[in-house]
């Protein structure tokens, strides 16, 4: 690259220093870090909520918290882990890694990307400020009607639920459209769709799920908002409406949401296993198309959550069949992952251990999910602790373990330093043991009749022993997270330097320095295979000479870096004012709209946009 071409990035990197530069950043890597740090902060909050829940249930007739507080805790724990932890942790990897893996300098719409983060943070704070004013949501993360009606919930608790999820939905839609355009339009020369890394493919499927599923829950939330504020009767049975309408709308969103949560982890595992087995992913096209099929079938299984509502034998049979069908593409992925490991030169790094742990735990969660595809079995297990065990094996044993694999795999790329492998392995084994000690006994509790949202129980119920075991396991899980935090911050200062390619990676992010420069690639790479870096590293002498000749014949690339902008945070503030107006008066709504319009106008006409 010419001296003139290199000057602009150097000058702009000088402007990317200090706290204000983080607030005004539009750099996809920094936005990814903001998502990740915010999500992990809420992970600690959600974990503390879980520990209080488990402490309350450790023994019979517990008095740690009141019944109302317990209802708020289990509601907010689920909302936090689903919408404020797993989704944004996936978004952190999308933001940081997708442009690097497709050979781009940024996402398609950098300012929209920054706005999606600030809107996400606004929604997250909106949900959690409900604790400070004494009215946190207390109706479960699924908020079934008629519990959400004004007659049953006269405080603002449900209103915080409505507006918090609406704000978070806006953020997700912004990010969804941005990444769809980025992946389809911003790929480097030669990066055909079937040369995309599997993680990028899973990201693409997730974004289509987001833009198709979130409008459904938005409609349901608007109906609920109208019922509460304007006296309509979308869900009120006494007015001739059907409360099951909410369940249909919620689960039409809710089951695709499960795949929004798990597919990023599946994509990460599909990158980690080939690297540490030192062989290509077995049957990569089948893994890709199975992910696409999971996304498609995910919209056809929602009513298996509603077998107990009396849908009738025809509907039960249809949704039982589709639920069993969706296990097929999932099994394809699992067998391909196992075939990738088979015969490979395996390196048991912490990232690899987490990927293997993901497979094992997800199989357990998947098997109990297939059990729920049978209406007679589901009738027994519905709303029992068996379902709690199932969802935690899928979301903690699946999503969280997969995300930890990604953290240990890409931490060197993001920071330039390696996490301590000894501490990492200690954390992994503690987490694996504690996970099973915490959640496996819940299967027994569920079969024995313990309801899933129970506040306390009597000693004569026979649930004492397994509840105490689960509580002990939850505290060991908390200890494993503390070990990770120590490892994370210690490695930032004193970790072993990683270099550009510490794992012998096959994809484009490992071809550039760690951490990457502001502009990512001084020259956009030209891709000729699905494993471009392995192709370069292990090419013959004649092939390397040909590559070097072709590289010399290329001209210098133009580098454009969008300048920082503070308008995304102003826009997010305007949205917060608008939604807060529903708690105060019409004039606050109007003020929020005016702020949004003014900020949007200034943003569009901002120099350098």
- Whether 77 is catalytic is yes
Within a domain: 541: yes
| Catalytic-role residue among 259, 302, 457, 510 | 259
The answer for residues whose C-beta is within 8 angstroms of residue 378's C-beta and 6 or more apart is 304, 307, 308, 371, 372
Of 306, 329, 323, give the one whose Cα is nearest residue 373. 323
For residues 207 and 264, the answer to whether their CB atoms sit within 8 Å is no
Q: SS3 breakdown of the chain: % helix, strand, coil, rounded to 5? A: 70, 0, 25
| Catalytic-role residue among 75, 148, 153, 171 | 171
**pLDDT < 70: residue spans in the chain:** 1-16, 540, 542-544, 547-558, 604-605, 607-609
Within a domain: 108: yes
| Catalytic-role residue among 28, 29, 30, 77 | 77
- Whether 452 is catalytic is yes
Q: What is the pLDDT of residue 216?
A: 96
- Whether 303 is catalytic is no
| Catalytic-role residue among 25, 38, 153, 172 | 172
Rg (CA), the chain: 25
Could you give the CA distance from residue 16 to residue 563 in angstroms, rounded to a whole number?
Answer: 9
What DSSP string runs through 14-25? HHS-SHHHHHS-
| Catalytic-role residue among 156, 187, 228, 305 | 305
Partners of 451 in the beta sheet? 384
Classify 539 in phi/psi space as left (phi over 0), alpha (psi -120 to 50) or beta: beta
Q: Please tell me the number of Cα atoms within 13 Å of 265 on its side-chain side.
A: 31
| Catalytic-role residue among 141, 354, 409, 603 | 141
Q: Model-level pTM?
A: 0.94
Could you give the CA distance from residue 499 to residue 512 in angstroms, rounded to a whole number?
Answer: 9
Could you give the CA distance from residue 449 to residue 275 in angstroms, rounded to a whole number?
Answer: 45
Could you give the CA distance from residue 599 to residue 570 in angstroms, rounded to a whole number?
Answer: 6
Let me know if 290 is exposed, middle or buried by CB neighbors in 10 A (0-12, 13-18, 19+): buried
Could you give the CA distance from residue 182 to residue 179 in angstroms, rounded to a whole number?
Answer: 5
- Whether 259 is catalytic is yes
Q: What is the pLDDT of residue 17?
A: 73
Cα 254 to its chain centre, rounded Å, is 14
The two structure tokens encoding residue 48? 């503390």
Q: DSSP class of residue 605? A: T
- Whether 337 is catalytic is no
Within a domain: 42: yes
Q: How far is CA 565 from CA 24, 70, 366, in A?
A: 5, 42, 44
Domain total in the chain: 1
| Catalytic-role residue among 54, 111, 228, 304 | 304
Let me know if 91 is exposed, middle or buried by CB neighbors in 10 A (0-12, 13-18, 19+): buried
The answer for residues whose C-beta is within 8 angstroms of residue 349's C-beta and 6 or more apart is 276, 408, 421, 424, 503
CATH number at residue 266: 1.20.210.10
Q: How far is CA 39 from CA 81, 117, 325, 573, in A?
A: 9, 11, 33, 20
Does 146 sit behind a cis peptide bond, omega within 30 degrees of 0 on the bond before it? yes
Q: What is the pLDDT of residue 5?
A: 45
| Catalytic-role residue among 49, 106, 236, 271 | 106
Within a domain: 473: yes
- Whether 333 is catalytic is yes
- Whether 144 is catalytic is no
- Whether 141 is catalytic is yes
Q: What is the pLDDT of residue 11?
A: 46
Within a domain: 545: yes
- Whether 305 is catalytic is yes
| Catalytic-role residue among 182, 452, 509, 565 | 452
Could you give the CA distance from residue 485 to residue 492 in angstroms, rounded to a whole number?
Answer: 11
Q: Which long-range contacts (CB under 8 A, 24 or more apart) does 142-146 make?
A: 142/247, 142/250, 142/254, 143/224, 143/246, 143/250, 144/243, 144/246, 144/247, 144/250, 145/224, 145/235, 145/236, 145/243, 145/245, 145/246, 145/247, 146/235, 146/236, 146/237, 146/243
Within a domain: 274: yes
Within a domain: 600: no
Could you give the CA distance from residue 306 to residue 381 in angstroms, rounded to a whole number?
Answer: 12
Owning domain of residue 191: 3-449+464-565
Q: What is the pLDDT of residue 543?
A: 66
Could you give the CA distance from residue 191 to residue 509 in angstroms, rounded to a whole number?
Answer: 14
Within a domain: 578: no
- Whether 257 is catalytic is yes
For residues 501 and 510, the answer to whether their CB atoms sit within 8 Å is yes
| Catalytic-role residue among 25, 75, 203, 270 | 270
Q: What is the pLDDT of residue 584?
A: 81
Q: What is the pLDDT of residue 2?
A: 41
| Catalytic-role residue among 28, 54, 187, 255 | 255
Q: What is the pLDDT of residue 240?
A: 86
Q: What is the pLDDT of residue 555?
A: 57
């Amino acid at each position: 690259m010419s001296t003139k071409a290199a000057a602009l990035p150097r000058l702009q990197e000088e402007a990317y220093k200090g706290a204000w530069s983080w607030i005004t950043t539009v750099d996809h890597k920094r936005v990814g870090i903001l998502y990740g740090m915010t999500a992990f902060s809420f992970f600690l909050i959600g974990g503390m909520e879980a520990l209080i829940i488990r402490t309350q249930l450790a023994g019979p007739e517990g008095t740690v918290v009141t019944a109302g507080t317990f209802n708020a805790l289990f509601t907010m724990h689920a909302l936090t882990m689903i919408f404020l932890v797993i989704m944004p942790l996936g978004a952190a990897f999308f933001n940081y890694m997708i442009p690097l893996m497709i050979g781009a300098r940024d996402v398609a719409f950098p300012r929209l990307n920054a706005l999606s983060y600030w809107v996400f943070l606004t929604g997250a704070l909106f949900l959690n400020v409900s604790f400070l004013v004494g009215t946190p949501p207390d109706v479960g993360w699924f908020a079934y009607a008629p519990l959400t009606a004004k007659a049953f919930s006269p405080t603002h608790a449900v209103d915080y639920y409505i507006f918090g999820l609406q704000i978070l939905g806006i953020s997700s839609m912004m990010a969804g459209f941005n990444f769809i355009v980025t992946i389809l339009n911003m790929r480097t020369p030669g990066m055909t769709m079937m040369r995309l890394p599997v993680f990028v493919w899973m990201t693409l499927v997730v974004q289509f799920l987001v833009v198709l599923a979130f409008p459904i829950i938005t409609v349901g939330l608007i109906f609920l908002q109208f019922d509460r504020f304007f006296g309509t009767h979308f869900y009120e049975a006494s007015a001739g409406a059907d409360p099951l309408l909410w369940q249909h709308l919620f689960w039409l969103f809710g089951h695709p949401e499960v795949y929004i949560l798990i597919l990023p982890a599946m994509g990460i595992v599909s990158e980690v296993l080939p690297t540490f087995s030192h062989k290509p992913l077995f049957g990569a096209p089948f893994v890709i198309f199975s992910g696409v099929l999971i996304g498609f079938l995910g919209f056809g299984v929602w009513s298996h959550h509603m077998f107990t509502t009396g849908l009738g034998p025809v509907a039960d049979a249809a949704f039982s069949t589709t639920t069993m069908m969706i296990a097929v593409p999932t099994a394809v992925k699992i067998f391909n992952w196992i075939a990738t490991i088979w015969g490979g030169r395996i390196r048991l790094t912490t990232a690899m251990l987490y990927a293997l742990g993901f497979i094992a735990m997800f199989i357990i969660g998947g098997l109990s999910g297939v059990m729920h595809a049978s209406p007679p079995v589901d009738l027994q297990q519905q709303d029992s602790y068996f379902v709690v065990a199932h969802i935690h094996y899928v979301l903690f044993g699946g999503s969280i373990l997969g995300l930890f694999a990604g953290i240990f795999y890409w931490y060197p790329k993001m920071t330039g330093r390696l996490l301590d492998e000894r501490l990492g392995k200690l954390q992994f084994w503690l987490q694996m043991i504690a996970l099973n000690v915490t959640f496996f006994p819940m299967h027994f509790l569920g079969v024995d009749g313990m309801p899933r949202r129970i506040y306390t129980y009597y000693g004569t119920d026979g649930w004492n022993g397994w509840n105490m075991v689960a509580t002990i396991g939850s505290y060991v899980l908390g200890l494993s997270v503390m070990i990770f935090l120590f490892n994370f911050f210690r490695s930032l200062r004193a970790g072993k330097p990683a270099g550009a390619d510490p794992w012998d990676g096959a994809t484009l992010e490992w071809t550039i320095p760690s951490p990457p420069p502001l502009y990512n690639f001084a020259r956009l790479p030209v891709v000729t295979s699905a494993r471009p870096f392995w192709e370069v590293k292990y090419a013959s002498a004649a092939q390397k000479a040909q590559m070097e000749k072709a590289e010399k014949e290329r001209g210098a690339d133009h580098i454009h870096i969008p300048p920082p902008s503070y308008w995304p945070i102003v826009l997010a503030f305007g949205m917060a004012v608008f939604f807060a107006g529903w708690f105060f008066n019409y004039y606050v709504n109007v003020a929020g709209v005016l702020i949004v319009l003014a900020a949007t106008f200034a943003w569009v006409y901002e120099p350098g946009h």
